[in-house]
Amino acid sequence: MMTYNDPAASSMGADGPILRCEGITKAFGGVNAVNGATFDIPRNMITALIGPNGAGKTTVVNILSGAMKCDSGRVQMGSTDVTNWERYKIARLGLMRTFQLSRELGGLTVLENLLVAPKVQAGESLFNIFFRPRLLKREERQNIERATEILRTYGLYDLRDNRARELSGGQKKLLEISRGVMASPSLFLLDEPMAGVNPALIERIGGYILDMKAQGVTVLMIEHNLNVVERICDNVIVLAEGKTLATGKLSELRENKEVVTAYLGEVINASTSH
Amino acid sequence: MSQFWYYVFTLVFFLFDYFILAMGLNIQYGETGVLNFAYIGFVALGAYVTGAVSLPNSVGTGQQYIFGWNMPFPVNLIMGGVAAMILAVIVAFIALRRLRTDYLAMVLISLSLVLYDIINNYPRLFNGADGLYNVPQPMTGIFHMGTNTFVIFFSLVTGVVALILWAVMSRITRSPLGRTFRAIRDDADVAAALGKGVFRYQLMSMLIGSFFAGVGGGLIIEFGGSFNPSAWLPGETFVVFAVIIVGGVGNNVGLLVGALLVETLLIHLPAFLPDIPGHPGLIEYIDAIVIGIVLMIMLWFRPQGMVPERIRRFPQPAGELLNRDGHSVVAPTLTEAVASVSANAPFSDAHEGTDA
């Protein structure tokens, strides 16, 4: 079962941030969706990206993952400058992401959704398909074993042969996260993983995210549920009007007037009185 | 050799040939999601090149064409396939790199029309509107065959070619490569986010499908001995689409069923029926209407086709599964998992380091 870690016990690590984002900007027509966001994502921590609607959170995730190109600024992953790289190249460096609205590979089964995830597979080469069948078999067997283990952990095992499009909303969320885990990411960007799911599932997803961290995965999650942020995130980045307003622990940010005005305001009161 | 068997084996030829063509379009559209509305252009190029390399030098033949290399079977067929692949590379770099779905489809239709106009109006390539004719029938010299025997012989040869290509295609679609193709078809953004170079795989799928198109086209010109622009009006692409939609997108068996129903029974069989007295050619028009209606009925009532894409099941690993720590992995159903979480420690306790 999942092990829950004490977030405070983790440290930043000697290698510096896993991802550094410097002054990125992105405009859509006349609207500056992202306007100079600058932040670091510390290694082996769970970082929350919070901010009001329209603050540019999803655009930032899109830029970091290569789904959108930024107009200016720099994105560095480890020591590699990945600014405006193609998506698949960034993914191959170990950055996985989920989407705000779950995007399953609908025609594939649940198991196949996971089997497609390993970034580079010998079975994707025509030469290997026809001339190295044993290598393919071995690789496929290993992948099936790993995918089965993940599906069991995520409670999706019984649905393995169902087409992904037949799953419920919550199951699709789990599938998307487990697919990302199958790809063995070093940095996992989760875009509102808890949005629209029932409280029991929020508990489980929270557990899975902590488990990922225990396995050495760095997580950046966009999240509006401050209860969750407070419990599992080590670090919080507040984005407002496309700029980084503040970073730090949520408890520190509560004291920050700018943050309270821009985002926390009523929400934080509700959260603390809860 | 009766006329009857001549007709039957002509139908058999078209069954196998359209099976090959359907497999080629299926890997592009059914497996990878590339809406190739220019498909018939690839078939035609394959036919023309196969014909032009099989024919002797054009001087004194009364035709104009390039090549004229007297290539034997099956080298000429492979060259037809390769020519279609070269066209695929050009098309991919012009259209596939930047465009998706509907825009790509529009560009490909335009491309098909451009290709048609060039070949039709520039006779130095493949004899223009007259097309290529007198293409030598393969292996007739070796086996001393008459025309009727050739029809039987070549329809069986086409069957063998189709069988080989089916084996090749099945191997590809069942492999992790086929799975990646289908991932791209379902959601190219997700596939890219999983580290798949979408363009590379789409190009690969285009190349494989185009080879099938080229070979299928080559077999047509070898079977009939001639090929001209009336055989590949841009609308012909939709006949191949009808084959895979009726048969079943993403299923190789379905493609054979589609080839049988659409190409053999609906298109070629009525061509052998006697004319309706006083209305010559009417059957052809009725035929086109019937195909349209069949397509609409299928899309309305059975969009997955006669033989739908099958669910791919994998053998499960034997023995007890162990997790990274060497402990047995619990296999809860979703309901059990949800129930156990809600019955166990609340989230706040978990935060303090207990097991969930």
Nearest residue of B to residue A137, measured between CA atoms: B175
Q: Enter the pTM of the model.
A: 0.88
pLDDT band, residue B346 (cuts 50/70/90): very low
- A to B CB pairs, distance under 8 Å: 177
pLDDT of the residue at A4: 34
Would an 8 Å CB–CB cutoff place A132 in contact with chain B?
no
Q: How far apart are CA B311 and CA B33, in angstroms?
A: 18
Nearest to B46 by CA among B136, B140, B119: B119
Predicted complex ipTM: 0.89
Q: How far apart are CA A73 and CA A57, in angstroms?
A: 16
Question: Is the confidence at residue A273, as pLDDT, over 50?
Answer: no
What CATH number is given for B7-301 in this structure? 1.10.3470
Output the CA angle A263-A83-A234, nearest 5 degrees. 40
pLDDT of the residue at A2: 37
Q: Are B256 and B305 within 8 A, CB to CB?
A: no
Which residues in chain A are contacts of B341 at CB distance < 8 A? 200, 203-204, 207
Would an 8 Å CB–CB cutoff place A114 in contact with chain B?
no
pLDDT band, residue B351 (cuts 50/70/90): very low
Site from A6, A89, A157 to mutate, B interface, most B CB atoms within 10 angstroms = A157
Place of tokens 């997580």: A219
Site from A129, A154, A187, A233 to mutate, B interface, most B CB atoms within 10 angstroms = A129
Question: Is the confidence at residue B22, as pLDDT, over 90?
Answer: yes
Nearest to A48 by CA among A256, A192, A215, A201: A192
Question: Is the confidence at residue B78, as pLDDT, over 60?
Answer: yes
What percent of chain A is predicted at pLDDT more than 90? 70
Residue A28 lies in a domain: yes
Q: How far apart are CA B60 and CA B64, in angstroms?
A: 9
Question: Is the confidence at residue A6, as pLDDT, over 60?
Answer: no
Statement to judge: residues A85 and A122 lie in one domain: no
CATH number (domain holding residue A241): 3.40.50.300
Helix B147-174 with B198-224: angle, nearest 10 deg? 170
Per the model's pLDDT, the better-predicted residue between B276 and A165 turns out to be A165
pLDDT band, residue A267 (cuts 50/70/90): low
Q: Are B257 and B18 within 8 A, CB to CB?
A: no
Statement to judge: residues A18 and A88 lie in one domain: yes
Record: contact A67-B189, CB cut-off 8 A: yes
Nearest to B180 by CA among B196, B199, B204, B200: B196
Residue A45 lies in a domain: yes
pLDDT band, residue B318 (cuts 50/70/90): low
Between strands A218-222 and A187-191, the pairing is parallel
Domain with A36, as residue range(s), is 7-104+186-273
Per the model's pLDDT, the better-predicted residue between B138 and A164 turns out to be A164
Residue A30 lies in a domain: yes
Q: What separation in angstroms does the CA of A52 have from each of A222, A245, A251?
A: 11, 11, 18
pLDDT of the residue at B319: 54
pLDDT band, residue A15 (cuts 50/70/90): low
pLDDT band, residue B335 (cuts 50/70/90): very low
Strands of chain A, DSSP E: 19-28, 31-41, 46-50, 72-77, 80-81, 95-97, 187-191, 218-222, 235-240, 243-248
Nearest residue of B to residue A65, measured between CA atoms: B193
Would an 8 Å CB–CB cutoff place A241 in contact with chain B?
no
Q: What separation in angstroms does the CA of B233 have from each of B93, B112, B236, B293?
A: 24, 9, 6, 20
Which residues in chain A are contacts of B204 at CB distance < 8 A? 126
B290, containing H or E segment: helix B282-301
Residue A180 lies in a domain: no
Residue A181 lies in a domain: no
Question: Is the confidence at residue A211, as pLDDT, over 50?
Answer: yes
Statement to judge: residues A232 and A115 lie in one domain: no
Question: Is the confidence at residue B116, as pLDDT, over 80?
Answer: yes
pLDDT of the residue at B348: 40
Cβ contacts of residue A209 below 8 Å, gap of 6+? A46, A190, A193, A219, A221, A232
Statement to judge: residues A240 and A266 lie in one domain: yes
Q: Min CA distance, A100 vs chain B (Å)?
A: 12
Statement to judge: residues A207 and A100 lie in one domain: yes
Task: Give the strands of the sheet with A187-191, arranged side by side.
Answer: A95-97, A187-191, A218-222, A46-50, A235-240, A243-248
Q: Which among B179, B350, B351 is the nearest to A112, CB-wise?
A: B179
Nearest residue of B to residue A229, measured between CA atoms: B351
Record: contact B171-A130, CB cut-off 8 A: yes
pLDDT of the residue at B98: 81
Which residues in chain B are contacts of A106 at CB distance < 8 A? 186-187
Measured from the Cβ of residue B13, the count of other Cβ atoms closer than 10 Å reads 24
Statement to judge: residues A92 and A128 lie in one domain: no
Question: Is the confidence at residue B155, as pLDDT, over 90?
Answer: yes
